[in-house]
A and B are shown apart, each in its own frame.
Chain A
Amino acid sequence: MRKLRDGMRFAVENVRKTFPGVIALDGVSLDIRPGEVHALVGENGAGKSTLIKIVTGLYRPDEGRLTIDGREVRFASAREAIAAGVSAVHQERNLIPRFSVGENIMIERPPTRRGLIDYRSVHAQARRFLDMIDPSIDTRTEVRRLSVAQMQIVEIAKALSFEAGLLLLDEPTASISGHEAEELFAVLRRLKDEGKAILFVSHKLEEVLALSDRVTALRDGKVAIAGEPIGRMDRGRIVSAMIGREERVADIGARDLSGEPVLEATAIATSLGHRNVSLTLHKGEILGLYGLVGAGRTELARALIGDARITAGVLRLKGSPVSIDNVSQAIRKLGIGYISEDRKAEGLILAHPVRSNVAITVWRRIMSRVGLLWRRREIETAEPLARKLEIRTPSLEQTVGKLSGGNQQKVSIAKWLAAGVEILIIDEPTVGIDIKTKTAIHELIAEITRGGVSVLLISSDMPEMITLADRILVMRNFSIAGLIENNRRYEPMSREIMSLIHGVAAGEDADAMREAANG
């Protein structure tokens, strides 16, 4: 049986790392003590992920060194970092779906007897690690049958099984609900009290403030905040350190809320499991859709663009009932567009130039009668939009994959403006976009609604929601929990939203208990 290692003091000292033409890290130091949660924050491109890769043994620093309890260490691979007691829970799920929980936890060195895997002791040992954090998961369950949050617990148990002294969590709450995040934090606090060193990487500053003891911020490959106690920090100070100046709140201008209804859903149900969803979107309005992950917001968007079936209820477009059969019909006939939260997989064709990515929605409209599509006509479509949206690109022929996240998002918006949609569903518009550009995207969204486009905004970013939305629909469990008129004052608004979600969450528990009681 393996023993649990005590927490350790892990330090990164004056590390420098360059890639051809880029200085990713420049004299960065970071020290993590046993029994603390140390937060690491920074914008995209600040060097966060390079630092994570150095700590976990995937990269080697050009200069500087790593120490554990004062002794220098060098990692030639992820394997060596693990052996030295550094374990990471990465952003992507890193479990084998068809293996049992127990085997996943013990995967790197399963206990063997005479060279053969001894499953009884696999499960017994896995049980021990799992019991430290969540005794309710059965080690014999196949991982593919677990919820995302349970998988995360399994990953932490797996990291512990590597005798981790330092536990690194990279954006652990990216795909779990707020309630589940609370439970995760309770686990992390307990591990901290047991003396583990924990490095917590997150872009959610609310979580950083709530969970960590100290914080280090990176900006442009340099340290901007060096392990300051969290007590001396607040959101504003962290943000200005990260972006190098004060955060500017988007100026969204005057809102005109007198538009006619353009999209009305009355008690619709979908093949994805929505029940009794009603909403009204007015011309030129930004209607927010807030809720926890898994509340069914993205799925509702998919139904509204014809990517999933609407099975009951009535959908009206400018007053007349419509049915939406497929995506191209939604775009061409009904003028509804959708910007996915996953730009890379669902939004843009990264390997194709800006020109094609903007014009793709109108190819059939701008082609000649025999189906020919001239580059000139694509440029005529893309050029004015690129100028209007201030897309920063060396030319329209640049492949989209080489643009920054913010400019990619502008290309996404441009293609829908090109299509001339009247309704635009925008899912998490600023995920993965740095704070400086975020403001510009917010102003751009407000700007297009003044041009008559109606926006259905899906966001998990509370400040973003309260800045942008005219009204906020709160969703839970694939139905609507309530509607709030937004007065754009953060404190009362966020309290009102949370109480809606919270009240709802209590109801869910009651539902679950009733179900359990009925067997």
Chain B
Amino acid sequence: MTVARHLMAKEWSALGASILAGLVVLSLMSPAFLTEFNLYVMLRSFCVVLVVAFAQMLTLGVGQLNLSIGALGGLVAIAVGGVMEKLGFPIGLAVVLGLLIGAGGGLANGLLTVRTGINGFIITLATASVFAGINLGVTRSIPFYNLPPAFVAFGTERFFAVPYLLAPPLVVAAALGFFLARTVPGRYLLAVGGNPQAAELSGIPRDRTIVFAHTLSGLLAAVAAILAVAQLGSAQPTIGADWLIISFAAPIIGGAALTGGHISVAATSLAVVLIVLIQNGMVLAKVDPYWVQFLLGALILAAVGLNRLRAVHAETA
């Protein structure tokens, strides 16, 4: 096997090449690209997207999908903002409450999917509507603006180009990579996604693993929501409304199979880098923001096509 083919076989090689090309082109095209401030802006927008992508990646890993990540995120965002503004909760308590709501929502998704045996698509479509409904019913679309200054500061302050906000996503990424590679529940999760019957007959508690994956997914949606509140400086009820496509885009561009069992923290992270790079390029080139939406769709199709080519290639080789 030649080096080139070896690289081709790695899912993330095309991603790495695209990112490098993007970096080179953008730095040549725009002097503003490599400035400290622009790097800060990019890293900052990287944070929420990364955790959203991980939230979807976990459900894909176990062979499920989760349409409710955005709606659950929105609910967590207004809950965290609301208890801080209206009830004067300390930051720590509010964050814990938010995480609990996220995990609880995920747990509900998991239990409903497993107990009814119905397609996770329909279940999470329904719960997404429930979460969004509670959000809108409670807030009537009015955001919470008066958040503790320390919380808002965390979302804006930086160390040179590195925003403080980047710390939680990096911790999550490392923990997740470690969890999936080295812990028993992590391996169970991938085993169930890879071959559910086999996992069950090998004595792995299949239903419990699926519920667990959904719960983690909900928890990560909550993390993303809290980061988004800190980033925006206010708890907007619309947080999460545009997460659906991006949550699938990153893991799929990163090569996750929808059939489950095949996900990668590194590849998903690289895909998020690419997406953020494209968004930033659009801003620097001063094109319509609508192009981002268009390109995201095109990028998913390109990734899918590339995977297909690779599969055909592997079959004939």
Q: Which A residues contact B (CB, under 8 angstroms)? A: 78-79, 82, 88, 90, 92-99, 103, 107-108, 110, 112, 115-117, 158
Contacts and interface: CB of A to CB of B under 8 A. Distances in A.
A96 B201 contact: no
Interface string B87-105: 0000000000000000000
B200 interface: yes
A96 B184 CA distance: 15
Contacts of A96: 190-191, 194-195, 198-199, 261
B201 A107 contact: no
B117 interface: no
Nearest to B261: A98
Contact of A117 (B184, B201, B262): B184
Contacts of A93: 198
A94 B197 contact: yes
Given A110-B184, A112-B184, A116-B182, A99 B201 contact: no
Contacts of B197: 92, 94
Nearest to A80: B203
Interface string B223-264: 000000000000000000000000000000000000001100
Contact of A99 (B183, B191, B200): B191
Contacts of A117: 182-184, 187
Contacts of A110: 184, 187
A95 B195 contact: yes
B116 interface: no
B204 interface: yes
- Main secondary structure on A side of the interface with B: loop
A92 B201 CA distance: 11
Contacts of A92: 197-198
B202 interface: yes
Contacts of A99: 187, 190-191, 194
A93 B194 CA distance: 12
Contacts of B194: 96-99
Given A98-B194, A99-B191, A158 B183 contact: no
B1 to A, nearest CB: 13
Contacts of B200: 78
B198 A88 contact: no
Given A95-B195, A96-B194, A98-B262, A90 B201 contact: yes
Indicate the member of B190, B191, B199, B204 with the most A CB atoms within 10 Å.
B191
A360 to B, nearest CB: 27
B260 to A, nearest CB: 10
Given A97-B195, A116-B182, A116-B183, A78 B201 contact: yes
B255 to A, nearest CB: 12
B270 to A, nearest CB: 19
Contacts of A158: 202
Given A96-B195, A99-B191, 6 more contacts: A82-B203, A94-B198, A95-B195, A107-B202, A108-B203, A108-B204
A108 B198 CA distance: 11
Contacts of A112: 184
B183 A79 contact: no
A160 to B, nearest CB: 13
A116 B261 CA distance: 20
Contacts of B184: 110, 112, 117
A93 B190 CA distance: 17
Nearest to A158: B202
A108 B187 contact: no
B209 to A, nearest CB: 12
Nearest to A96: B194
Nearest to A117: B182
Contacts of A107: 187, 191, 199, 202, 204
Contacts of B183: 115-117
A79 to B, nearest CB: 4
A96 B204 CA distance: 12
8 contacts: A78-B200, A78-B203, A82-B203, A93-B198, A94-B202, A95-B198, A97-B195, A98-B190
Contacts of A97: 194-195, 261
A65 to B, nearest CB: 23
Contacts of B195: 94-97
A391 B86 CA distance: 73
Contacts of B201: 78, 88, 90, 94
A162 to B, nearest CB: 8
Interface in B161-198: 182-184, 187, 190-191, 194-195, 197-198
A94 B204 CA distance: 12
A82 B201 CA distance: 9
B188 to A, nearest CB: 8
Contacts of A78: 200-201, 203
A160 B186 CA distance: 24
The 6 closest A-B pairs by CB, nearest first: A94-B198, A96-B194, A79-B203, A108-B203, A116-B182, A96-B191
B10 to A, nearest CB: 14
Contacts of B198: 92-96
B175 to A, nearest CB: 13
A478 B108 CA distance: 53
Contacts of A88: 201
Nearest to B182: A116
A208 B316 CA distance: 39
A454 B187 CA distance: 53
A112 B200 CA distance: 21
A164 to B, nearest CB: 12
A181 B127 CA distance: 51
A432 to B, nearest CB: 19
Contacts of A108: 202-204
A103 B202 contact: no
A261 to B, nearest CB: 34
Nearest to A155: B198
A110 to B, nearest CB: 6
A33 to B, nearest CB: 25
Nearest to A110: B184
B307 to A, nearest CB: 15
A315 B261 CA distance: 44
B12 to A, nearest CB: 16
Nearest to A81: B203
A98 B194 CA distance: 7
A146 to B, nearest CB: 14
Contacts of A90: 201
Nearest to A89: B201
